[in-house]
Amino acid sequence: MRRDTRDSGRSSDPQDRKRRQRSEESDHYSKRRHSQSTHHNSRSSVYGSDNTGKHDSINDDPNRQLFVGNVLVSQTTPEELRDFLNKAMKDSGMVGRDQPDPITQCRLTGKYGFLDFTNAHDCTVGLNLNNIPFKGENLKIGRPVKYTGSITFAKTWQEYANTHGDDNGSANQAHHSSRHQQQPQHPTGDLMTKPFREIFIGHTLPEMTESYLMDFLGNALLKLGMSNSGLENPFLVIMTNGKFAFAVTRTVEDAANLLNLNGIPFMGSNLKIERPTRFDGQLSSISFYNWDDLHRSWVSGDLKVKTGGNPSRILRLTNMAAPEELLDPAFYLDLMEDTRAECSQHGTVRSIIVPRPTGTMSGGVMYAEKDIGKVFVEMSSVKEAINALIYLKGRTFAGRTVDIKFYPEDKFRMQNYSFEMPGVIVTTSPEPLFKDQVYTAAALSKIWTSESSNH
């Protein structure tokens, strides 16, 4: 797995970081209150034309302006881009076909520019244009850095197109009926655990949209084997606003593991990943990696063993095959042979079990449906299993990233292939190797409860 090893630098003193974060958040909320009571009306001339061909003036209201990036300026004009996006908003049902064009002008400089909208509502709806293909590139569309209004949610262009139709006018009807409705509520999961699933992300850039951050950080956790959300993205939602963002993850473990990515490079910036300042459940006895140290741990293999759970001779590999693929005898044989060949490089493979839709266990019992597609490898020793896990974790098979973990030997001997290992939280605690370094959510909740009761 390729890793970006650019120096991200170490974080400064924790108290200093907390003070800076509080200052950023305080500044955000004070500007937000100010923006709700102030409207900017000053204007000056700019190149680009309105829908009548007359020159328009600069829109200084950040509530009616969007940033657009990744533009091939040499191959387009502001008017062409403006007309293209106006048509896309009408064809997709974001605005009514009989309405005036929502984008009044486009101003380009270098590979980016700004879009001016007729009103704040259409501007917010325009966020759904993010990632729309234009002349061979996917445009980056988001709020400008000077925007200090309320946090809003949006889909990517692909997501919006998949969930909105315009054949029978239903999308337009939904658009009109939603103009005066409240913003939709997004899922945040169990409210009892929500404080432990919230993350602050600093040092973001205007072009870092919610979907970009979600894909990048979610894939990082998945590829590192640190996600506890199966094959789903570990994030429920990410809300961006200028220079920072707030995220809510699916599990307590996912949020804690994200803390190890502090300083990870993304789009030319080193992201700051911390708990929000209002979080009061941090344990003084537990510390986490920063990105540079985590990367070194991954390269050495230590992190792969940590995220693999308690070492045993049995390895469980997932995300290698879909149930329907296993119905093909040739695919099944290839999977068995490739797995044996890879694992045999690190020791003796005693057996391989691949539950299939048409297969049976000893005794003639059919495999449970939820076990179909898993691959179990029995090595001759724990040391050999560790070496195989370090080698295979993060590898791909048929275009899929393989997830590999140790599996309890007693469950394997009993032909119990459904046991789910508890989710792990990776920390830097040194001893003992496989107990204090890896915490489960259940164990952490007991520590949190114990520490809070002593105060």
Q: What is the DSSP string of 14-70?
A: HHHHHHHHHHHHHHHHHHHHHHHH-------EEEEE-TTS-EEE----GGGEEEEES
Arithmetic mean of pLDDT, 192-221: 89
Q: How far is CA 295 from CA 1, 3, 131, 204, 247, in A?
A: 11, 8, 29, 21, 23
Residue 195 has pLDDT above 80, yes or no: yes
Tell me the per-residue pLDDT of 403-437, one tens digit each, with 9 for 90 and over.
Answer: 889 999 999 999 999 887 777 778 886 533 333 33
Q: Are 76 and 131 in a shared domain?
A: yes
Q: Are 196 and 296 in a shared domain?
A: yes
**What does the mean pLDDT of the chain come to?**
76
CA-nearest of 41, 47, 56 to 104 is 56
Euclidean distance between CA atoms 389 and 392, whole angstroms:
5
- Res. 285 pLDDT band, cuts 50 70 90: low
Q: Are 238 and 326 in a shared domain?
A: no
Tokens of 240: 């961006």
Tell me the per-residue pLDDT of 82-117, one tens digit each, with 9 for 90 and over.
Answer: 999 999 999 888 888 888 999 999 998 877 889 999
Which stretch of 20-24, 151-155, 162-166, 225-229 has the lowest confidence by average pLDDT? 20-24
Q: Are 290 and 203 in a shared domain?
A: yes
- Within a 10 A sphere around the Cβ of 192, how many other Cβ atoms? 7
- Has residue 244 been placed in a domain? yes
Arithmetic mean of pLDDT, 48-55: 37
Q: Are 98 and 76 in a shared domain?
A: yes
- Res. 228 pLDDT band, cuts 50 70 90: confident
Arithmetic mean of pLDDT, 371-378: 92
- Has residue 213 been placed in a domain? yes
CATH number, domain at 366? 3.30.70.330
Q: Are 245 and 343 in a shared domain?
A: no
Q: Are 174 and 202 in a shared domain?
A: no
Write down which residue in 301, 321, 354 finishes a domain. Answer: 301
Q: What percent of the chain has pLDDT over 70?
A: 73
CA-nearest of 264, 344, 250, 247 to 298 is 264
Q: How far is CA 285 from CA 156, 444, 447, in A?
A: 41, 11, 10
Measured over the CA atoms of residue 266, residue 271, residue 273 and residue 276, the dihedral's sign is negative
pLDDT at 76: 87
pLDDT at 349: 96
pLDDT at 303: 87
Write down which residue in 301, 329, 360 finishes a domain. Answer: 301
- Has residue 453 been placed in a domain? no
- Has residue 452 been placed in a domain? no
Tokens of 322: 């879909």
pLDDT at 264: 94
Q: What percent of the chain has pLDDT over 90?
A: 32
Q: Are 120 and 213 in a shared domain?
A: no
Query: What is the number of domains present in the chain?
Result: 3
Euclidean distance between CA atoms 390 and 406, whole angstroms:
11
- Has residue 53 been placed in a domain? yes
- Res. 49 pLDDT band, cuts 50 70 90: very low
For the chain, the C-alpha Rg in angstroms (whole number) is 26
Euclidean distance between CA atoms 404 and 335, whole angstroms:
15
Write down which residue in 283, 301, 319 finishes a domain. Answer: 301
Q: Are 335 and 265 in a shared domain?
A: no
Residue 336 has pLDDT above 50, yes or no: yes
pLDDT at 97: 86
Q: Could you tell me if 196 and 276 are in contact, meaning their C-beta atoms sit under 8 angstroms apart?
A: no
Which stretch of 121-135, 200-214, 361-375, 421-435 has the lowest confidence by average pLDDT? 421-435
pLDDT at 66: 92
- Has residue 328 been placed in a domain? yes
Q: Are 174 and 45 in a shared domain?
A: yes
- Has residue 400 been placed in a domain? yes
Q: Are 106 and 157 in a shared domain?
A: yes
pLDDT at 150: 66
pLDDT at 281: 65
Tokens of 358: 């048409």
Q: Are 164 and 46 in a shared domain?
A: yes
- Has residue 424 been placed in a domain? no
Residue 86: give the domain boundaries: 39-178
pTM for the full predicted model = 0.53
Q: Could you tell me if 350 and 382 are in contact, meaning their C-beta atoms sit under 8 angstroms apart?
A: no
pLDDT at 290: 92
